[in-house]
Structure 1
Amino acid sequence: MFKHSLLTLAIASTLAVPALRAQDADKANATQLEAVTVTGSNIKTTDLEGPNPVQVITAAQIQASGKTTLPDFLRSISANTGNSVNEQLTGSFSAGTAGISLRGLGQQNTLVLVDGKRVSNYATAYNLQETFVDLNSLPLAAVERIEVLKDGASAVYGSDAIAGVVNIILKQNYQGAEAGVSYGGSTEGTGQTEHDFHILLGHGDIKKDGYNVFFALDGTRSNQLSQDDVSWLRNSDFRNQPGGTLAWVPTNYYNNDPTQGFANAVGPVQRVPYGAITPGMAGTVWAYNPAQYTTLIPGIERYHAVLKGTLKLTDSIQAYAEAIYSRSNASFIFGPPLAIGSGLRSWNNATQQLVNIDTTLPVGNPANPYSVPTPVNTNLWQLGQRNKRDHTQFNRVLAGLQGHDGGWDWDISVEHSESQLDENVTNFGNRYAFQSLLADGGYDLASDDNPASATDALRIATQRPASSTLSSLDATATRSLFDLPAGTVGFATGYQFRNESMNSQTSAQVLSGTELRPAIDIIDGSRNVQAAYAEFNVPILSTLEADVAGRVDHYSDFGKAFAPKFSLRYQPLDWLLLRGSFSRGFRAPSLPEITHSTAVAYNAVIDPYDPITPGQPRGFTEVYAANPNLRPERSRNLNAGFVVSPTANTSFGVDYYHIVQNGIIAPDNEQQMVDDKDPRVIRNAQGQIITLYNQYINQQSLTTDGADIDLKHVVHTQQFGSFTLDGSWTRLFKYSQPLGAGQAPVNSAGTNIFGSLPHWRGTTGLNWALADFSSTLTWYYVGGYRQNPANLLTPQWPTEVKSWSTFDLSVAYSGIRHTTITLAVQNLQNRRPPWDPSNTYYDLTQADPRGRFVNLGVNYKF
């Protein structure tokens, strides 16, 4: 299957190790410079700056930032330009998670590694199709450094590395002990608090003692932040903002007309002008404030544990093993009491279709004041808010051997990694009880005083399990091949086998058709992947070197993918470095996209043909299906840049990137389907959209380019200490993609057409160290962006969303023996996120509503 591919070369090279030992025996004792492996290459180097742009973040920098979780820090880097999720996104199947999206290409195009090796993806998919590594599952206290490769790397790592790689490197050869605790809270009266702790233990020096054992444990607990905890959000009244409305939800009405309300208030509702909610509408309606049912940040309880051991077997061989375990609970309000009205459905597992549930009140029903069957819209108020609690467990067990023999450095390892989700929801609705009570009048929808027996019959709790696993074998070998006039040719090769599987199920209540308004994301599939790769580093001149890499992957579901890469590093002067690369990459179709899967979600679209409210957003149910005929997404990456370092304390660099991604996997555009009267758009008897059937296909291409700007300058003084200025900024020039199949590309850079993608994003820190004090002031900047023209529902809507600029401050004091006390303030100026009427006040992918947050921590080293 791999005939005439790089696999043949890789296996032959690996098997050639014994044959080459003899000719390299005389070099075994040669003096060598200390070299390390940098993310993006398997060949060790002594260069501080390589041919690929790599941002290195140390544990000290993370600590100085005042950030208390790994995703909080990683999501603040400038290359994380958009389209990544965090814990604020609670209305999804992957609620309570956090990812990173380099270049705005989505989490599925950013590869996350731990110690240079893959870990399992989250147990289920985000946005129904995107598989990603949940950063919340990975430890922070055990991190030694993080390397962010801001260039395509499929030639080395395979799928998912189109936008780049985040390599989280855990502490190596750690000795000693330390423990720390911290407590934080909001200064804005929201009641949100956070508790954190960590413990590090390490014993043994590999070089001196022949072994090292390392253990790390950290944990965090924070309480839930609801919308009604935030003073400027709790009323959901945004009429003081340009284009803002009263963001309340009409309910308790008949005949699909919100102005035909119930005779009396039922539930937490008030009579409000209809025009305050929907401009241009007359009359009054019953409506409720959704803030009481909206969680902005879940309540979290999370723990991570790491146990590592390294044993020196001989002078040239070491054995190592590592175990990572984490568990997390995320609790939040899923939504208001279940809404009853047209479009209410349940699932028919036999036909794999939705079944419409008639909500028409029969004549004589206690909630029906008319003498004819009457449609009704209301909520099951007495059931209470719907709640969700996600329990997640993650593990990675890794064992391997590494050594140096006959001029070769080699590493062989096996691992198993797994993410498990147990999702529990309460206060959902029972279809059969509802139909029975509707028919016999046993539950009065127009009353708050129904018997407990009826309420209990309507209420159900469900449990949904999901898991994602990764098992792999990795073998790499690297060596110096031969000398050229300009230097030595380096070579690396390797082989990988891995099995990926995902089993995301739904509840028994959904499969039996019992649950009303079910959301479904069923994924059941697995595949095997084999890969081989080779890499050469060739010194052309003493100042010029080339790196050539290639990788062949074979997937058991779609076939083969080949990814090459060519890089140049040119340093004509000690203070000037020029670099560039060209590569091809790929993203394999995710298991939800290509394997056995069915998904049901709830969306909204502007329907110009709606007979009741034309041109207004209309909610509908969307059913997605996988496609076994998908091909991988392909990419072309071009990077070019320079680094100027006139002194040892100063450096300035600019790197340009250009990415073209073809065959992007996506469902058809819903708005285009509605506009084109696609037959897959299903309408009810009144002509309103109720269901849309869709499927994943290889669609159009995407082109994006931009530039990273990095600056570092250090000033040492005898009297005033040391000052370090460190900044990273990203400028997005283009993010061009068609709105739908067959349409012309639209440049959405600086807009929110394809998610919020501001032109500028930057982080700049100023550290001042003097005696026992160290302080860091960090400026985070997110540029403004233009509104998607399709979002401009009224002339009053602003066409621009303003920029968001915040400062964090941390001050550390280490004047007490073995002790460091740190005070950190997030959002020092207490800035509110900018107003964005296309969201509930603000865009959660770019900002958060916590306001000023103060944290005090103590760390003690034994």
Structure 2
Amino acid sequence: MKYRTSPLLFALAAAFPGYASAEDAAAPELERVVITGSNIRVTQKEGPSAVQVITAKDLEGTGKTSVADVLRAISANSGNSYNEQYTGSFSAGTAGLSLRGLGQQNTLILVNGKRVSSFATAQDLQQTFVDLNSLPMEAVQRIEVLKDGASSVYGSDAVAGVVNIILYQQFTGTEIKAQVGSSTEGTGQTEKNVALKTGFGDLATDGYSVVFSADAMERDKLQQSDVAWLAGNDFRGYKNGSLSWTPTNYYGTDPTKLLGGVQGPLQLVPYGDITPGKTGNVLAYNPAPYKTLIPGVKRVHTSLMGTLRLNEDTDLYADLMYGYSSAEQTFGPPLSVGTGLRAWNNATQSLDNIAVTLPVGHPNNPGSTPVGINATLFDLGPRLKVGRVDFYRALTGIKGTAAGWTYDASIGRSGSKLKETVDNFVNRYVFQDVLAKGTYNFADQSKNSDALRQSLRLATLRPAESTLTTLDFSASKDLFALPAGDVGFAFGGQWRREEMDSNTSTAVLSGTELRPAINIIKGKRDVSAAFAEFNVPVRKDLSLNVAGRADHYDDFGSAFSPKASLRYEPYQWLLLRGTASRGFRAPSLPEITNSTAVSYGSVLDPRDPVSPTQARGITNITRANPELKPERSNNLNLGLVVAPTKDTSVGLDYYRIRQQGVIGTESADTIIANEASAPQNIVRGADGRILTLYRQYANQGERRVSGVDLDLRHRIVGQQWGNVTLNGQLSRVLTFEAPLSTGEPLTNGAGTNYFGSIPKWRGVTSATWDLGKWSNTLTWTYVDGYEQTTRKGDTVAPFATLDLNLAYQVTKQTAVGLTVLNLGNKRPSWDSSTAFFDFTQADPRGRFASLKLTHKF
């Protein structure tokens, strides 16, 4: 059989990319395999595009327990990706990947070379993405990261690159693992992991193979108040820091006009400590106990892979995956009511203002006229959220050879289903009733009855579901021979149906929930595609690859993506390569189909009659646009690999990506600046202050990104002192250019947080020392500093950590290990724009140590 994947080949490719030694020449002929980014099977260990291979041994060496943690640590993950630390998201508890900083929607995630369903709802209202937390870890044999655009092979979403997660197709025996870890910093956070992998049958000898794996993880919730240096929310010792407490419980719009006194978490503090320049005292509270930094999670993943050999040329296969994930967090402090309180009006598709005014005679109104207030309903308790996700993929297919063709045909169905429940939200109608009757005491909430509190509390369910149905076919063969070798050809087609139904709760739709956040998405579309690829050996040392793919979407139309690449190996120790391609990202269903979103933000309004120089909170209503066109991209990649010895290789690759028609909404500054020509986009209250901004997705400006990747590998083969493998990846963002606002010139955001935090440098270096029964890995991760653009002159310092993973083979069947993440207990760098640190670049856990036991049967 010539079409089976060779684990040995990829192990060699990972250790010595681009090098063919004399020993290789004497070895048996390498099997022909498909490497991510192509449909043609080759024997070359390095193709024309840079592919980072993370082997099973590499995965073990990281000491990490999830696919998300492994992938998010690679240097090409430049920025604008999120994990479960993004607790304010509609996709809380998830994790994604953003190669080149272009966003999660521009990185395509595959499992065994095939698409899987995106998460049930959108990130940041518009980004559809694959949730890495829903994918199994124990089943992974290797991960291939293509650091080049690949729309010519895979279609939409592959603008920045492709991640192909390859699961074990064959495995013999049974292996169990157990791991328990805890923070060493007194946060109380622990993590427990168990895993099982078992398999039987060998295709070559038995004619079948079955592999089953399961892994489970439970991790405690981490509150901000659990972390010693964050617990007080007092950052006055940092540049541009302040006492980040929240003023509340006051009359009118002046926080110094106190409503009641100290109660619950409220304390009397100088207003100037919170907002420099202010005088007087305010009632304020520390929000740290109400902020979840990392949710408490429970996850279970299972995978079942089966292959049946019908004859020497034909295999039937099935791929079943199921994952369950639960993320529990404190959504926020108890609800604050006052200016800007709203409820959704489904009939008008807008927000109704809810007046928070104490009538005359109310126990908290000492005057003879109605008076507005701002207050926090502490006695109702913090608002809580639990998101439960069920993910699955069922795929079956047939592959083999016939009439000289190698083919693969499959049909699959994948889905992600979310059930998100929230507690301690507030019932609008009950609130308005008790406000009018004066039965709720804002000034001394201890006097409110439990029955009254319970009547105000509201629990809701938000459902969402995303599904993907696919039909795939591809075939390849050598067409004819040229003097330099065989001309390879591949072709194929795909049909898929994408569906998303992300709803909101009935309480929101009926107008019952106060201050709702909404992300309603309902739509589906069919996509059909055809593709072809040629690999032409021009000379023995020079090959040309050309590919093209035509995609048709039933909503916006068609897109064609061509690609050409060259691979030149003039010497055994030198490889030169380059690709030029066009790509696209189709408008996501939230952007182009029937969708409505309500979110909250802040703006600086120069026409604000009260505070024209201070930002204040407003509501955003964002709408889809059925007239959208796809984002188009041009990609250029140039690289070389130098391998002076069989144990050393150096790879250097340059990339440049130019996108046109990037989809987004106008910035708040642009909307406010153009109020005279488009007044319908702004709703102001009776006092002249902005209440709501209306936005709509549109194809806007251009984005240009460029950078270089450096890949270093060296192996020291010893005898008495064992073997040492050095492995380093370093990425440098040269440019990340986009307009700051519609119509403005491009601004370079590399090394700034203009467009999300984009550090110029990211690096990961590891050293693995294998000595007898010991296998030990030390990993250094570096994230460069960057400019904090909202406060000129303020920079965020570089951040680096060391991870240690020790493994000892006690017996042939049993191994034990110790993992210490963040060995030096480094704190994330201070970032005044986020109040403490940027969670897209670091996490606050500090040192985290784990013990691991592995046993094989």
TM-score in terms of structure 1 length: 0.95
Report the aligned-residue RMSD. 1.0
Q: Which residue of 2 aligns with 1:323?
A: 320
3-state SS of 1:206 partner: coil
Return the alpha-carbon distance in structure 1 between the equivalents of residues 135 and 365 of structure 2: 55
1:787-820 CA-to-partner distances (Å, cap 9, x unmatched) read 11xx12xxxx752110001000011000323111
Contact 1:571 1:577 in 2 (8 A): yes
Matched, 1:409 2:445: no
Matched, 1:860 2:827: no
3-state SS of 2:69 partner: helix
Shift of the alpha carbon at 1:840? 2.6
3-state SS of 1:209 partner: coil
Shift of the alpha carbon at 1:33? 4.3
- After superposition, where does 1:130-169 map in structure 2 within 5 Å? 130-169=127-166
| Counterpart among 286, 290, 294 of residue 287 in structure 2 | 290
Contact 2:101 2:758 in 1 (8 A): yes
Counterpart residue type for residue 528 of structure 1: D
Q: Which residue of 2 aligns with 1:11?
A: none
- After superposition, where does 1:379-418 map in structure 2 within 5 Å? 379-418=376-415
Shift of the alpha carbon at 1:32? 6.8
Return the alpha-carbon distance in structure 1 between the equivalents of residues 30 and 783 of structure 2: 42
Matched, 1:825 2:820: yes
Counterpart residue type for residue 487 of structure 1: G
Q: Which residue of 1 aligns with 2:259?
A: 262
Return the alpha-carbon distance in structure 2 between the equivalents of residues 476 and 817 of structure 1: 42
3-state SS of 2:832 partner: coil
Contact 1:243 1:798 in 2 (8 A): no
Q: Which residue of 1 aligns with 2:843?
A: 848
- After superposition, where does 1:232-631 map in structure 2 within 5 Å? 232-448=229-445, 449-631=447-629
Q: Which residue of 1 aligns with 2:661?
A: 663
Q: Which residue of 2 aligns with 1:180?
A: 177
Shift of the alpha carbon at 1:280? 1.2
Q: Which residue of 1 aligns with 2:108?
A: 111
Return the alpha-carbon distance in structure 2 between the equivalents of residues 42 and 704 of structure 1: 27
3-state SS of 1:851 partner: coil
Return the alpha-carbon distance in structure 2 between the equivalents of residues 383 and 263 of structure 1: 17
Shift of the alpha carbon at 1:612? 2.6
Contact 2:261 2:283 in 1 (8 A): no
Contact 2:648 2:715 in 1 (8 A): yes
| Counterpart among 74, 93, 96 of residue 77 in structure 1 | 74
Q: Which residue of 2 aligns with 1:703?
A: 704
Q: Which residue of 2 aligns with 1:744?
A: 745
Between 1:393-402 and 1:684-693, the stretch displaced more is 684-693
Return the alpha-carbon distance in structure 2 between the equivalents of residues 616 and 845 of structure 1: 27
Return the alpha-carbon distance in structure 2 between the equivalents of residues 746 and 33 of structure 1: 48
Contact 2:239 2:794 in 1 (8 A): no
Q: Which residue of 2 aligns with 1:9?
A: none
Question: Where does structure 2 lack aligned partners over 5 or more consecutive residues?
Answer: 1-27
3-state SS of 2:834 partner: coil
Question: Where does structure 1 lack aligned partners over 5 or more consecutive residues?
Answer: 1-30
Contact 1:567 1:581 in 2 (8 A): yes
1:286-327 CA-to-partner distances (Å, cap 9, x unmatched) read 111000100000000000000111000011000000110000
Matched, 1:88 2:81: no
Return the alpha-carbon distance in structure 2 between the equivalents of residues 806 and 466 of structure 1: 37
Return the alpha-carbon distance in structure 2 between the equivalents of residues 504 and 189 of structure 1: 39
Counterpart residue type for residue 693 of structure 1: Y
Q: Which residue of 1 aligns with 2:21?
A: none
3-state SS of 2:278 partner: coil
Return the alpha-carbon distance in structure 2 between the equivalents of residues 714 and 585 of structure 1: 37
Q: Which residue of 2 aligns with 1:809?
A: 804
- After superposition, where does 1:632-671 map in structure 2 within 5 Å? 632-671=630-669
Return the alpha-carbon distance in structure 1 between the equivalents of residues 234 and 263 of structure 2: 21
Shift of the alpha carbon at 1:172? 1.7
1:684-732 CA-to-partner distances (Å, cap 9, x unmatched) read 2223221111100000010000000000000011111101110001000
1:31-84 CA-to-partner distances (Å, cap 9, x unmatched) read 974111000000011111100100000111011111111111110000000000
Between 1:815-824 and 1:735-744, the stretch displaced more is 815-824
Counterpart residue type for residue 775 of structure 2: S
Return the alpha-carbon distance in structure 1 between the equivalents of residues 367 and 765 of structure 2: 66
3-state SS of 1:453 partner: helix
1:340-382 CA-to-partner distances (Å, cap 9, x unmatched) read 0111110111111111111111111122222211110011111
Return the alpha-carbon distance in structure 1 between the equivalents of residues 29 and 220 of structure 2: 53
Contact 1:809 1:826 in 2 (8 A): yes
Contact 1:563 1:583 in 2 (8 A): yes
3-state SS of 1:444 partner: coil
Contact 2:260 2:444 in 1 (8 A): no
Return the alpha-carbon distance in structure 1 between the equivalents of residues 195 and 783 of structure 2: 31
Return the alpha-carbon distance in structure 1 between the equivalents of residues 608 and 725 of structure 2: 60
TM-score in terms of structure 2 length: 0.96
Q: Which residue of 2 aligns with 1:207?
A: 204
Shift of the alpha carbon at 1:617? 2.0
Contact 2:780 2:802 in 1 (8 A): yes
Return the alpha-carbon distance in structure 1 between the equivalents of residues 554 and 245 of structure 2: 50
- After superposition, where does 1:663-682 map in structure 2 within 5 Å? 663-677=661-675, 679=679, 680-682=681-683
Return the alpha-carbon distance in structure 2 between the equivalents of residues 743 and 602 of structure 1: 25
Counterpart residue type for residue 108 of structure 1: Q
Matched, 1:800 2:816: no
3-state SS of 2:434 partner: helix
Q: Which residue of 2 aligns with 1:834?
A: 829
Q: Which residue of 2 aligns with 1:125?
A: 122
Between 1:288-297 and 1:670-679, the stretch displaced more is 670-679
Contact 1:608 1:675 in 2 (8 A): no
Return the alpha-carbon distance in structure 1 between the equivalents of residues 755 and 297 of structure 2: 30
Return the alpha-carbon distance in structure 2 between the equivalents of residues 786 and 382 of structure 1: 41
1:63-117 CA-to-partner distances (Å, cap 9, x unmatched) read 1111111111110000000000001001110000000000000000000000000
Return the alpha-carbon distance in structure 2 between the equivalents of residues 857 and 472 of structure 1: 39
Q: How many residues align?
A: 826
Counterpart residue type for residue 810 of structure 2: G
Return the alpha-carbon distance in structure 2 between the equivalents of residues 131 and 631 of structure 1: 16
3-state SS of 1:313 partner: strand
Return the alpha-carbon distance in structure 1 between the equivalents of residues 365 and 673 of structure 2: 36
Return the alpha-carbon distance in structure 2 between the equivalents of residues 370 and 725 of structure 1: 75
**Deviation above 4 Å: which 4+ runs of structure 1?**
none
3-state SS of 1:456 partner: helix
Return the alpha-carbon distance in structure 2 between the equivalents of residues 800 and 834 of structure 1: 10
Shift of the alpha carbon at 1:860? 0.4
Shift of the alpha carbon at 1:780? 0.2
- After superposition, where does 1:720-731 map in structure 2 within 5 Å? 720-731=721-732
